[in-house]
Amino acid sequence: MNPSSDAPTHVLMYQTFPEIGGVVHTHSTHAVAWAQAKREIPCYGTTHADGFYGSVPLTRELTAEEIKENYELNTGRVIVERFRTFDLEIMHYPAALVPCHGPFTWGKDAAYAVENAIVLEEVATMAMRTEKLSPDAKPIPQVLLDKHFLRKHGAGAYYGQKK
């Protein structure tokens, strides 16, 4: 079969970040809703903190020129730009939202990239419901974010089964 029309986006991610072994792009409903609202997904709880070390990044919008020429490659470029500009560790935030489009996720291999797409959609749903119940909801305390993310992904990670 032919590669996805989005292949240039994924290729740039692989070339820029050697840690990435799989990239997934979906139009899952709630993640897309945040992308269309042009909002990062705030980290309100530990479900989110287990997979992402803070808000899910939102890229800038593409310019008209970037949409007309090399659209798919430029989609990859705005993701890379978002991580480079804010000096974010790519594997600490294995997802990005592209405004008016949707989520891209990644992982060390294809299975992890798919898992992150599923987790992202759940997290997007939970955050939306949190704000519905409490429009003034505050993000998770830093100490709890650190505990949950780093016990799973930090240098001294101990969460889960040993291989």
Q: Which residues have a catalytic role annotated?
A: 50, 159
Q: How far apart are CA 126 and CA 144, in angstroms?
A: 17
Q: Name which of 39, 52, 26 is nearest 131 in CA terms.
A: 39
Q: Name which of 26, 47, 24, 45 is nearest 113 in CA terms.
A: 24
Q: Name which of 39, 56, 38, 42 is nearest 117 in CA terms.
A: 56
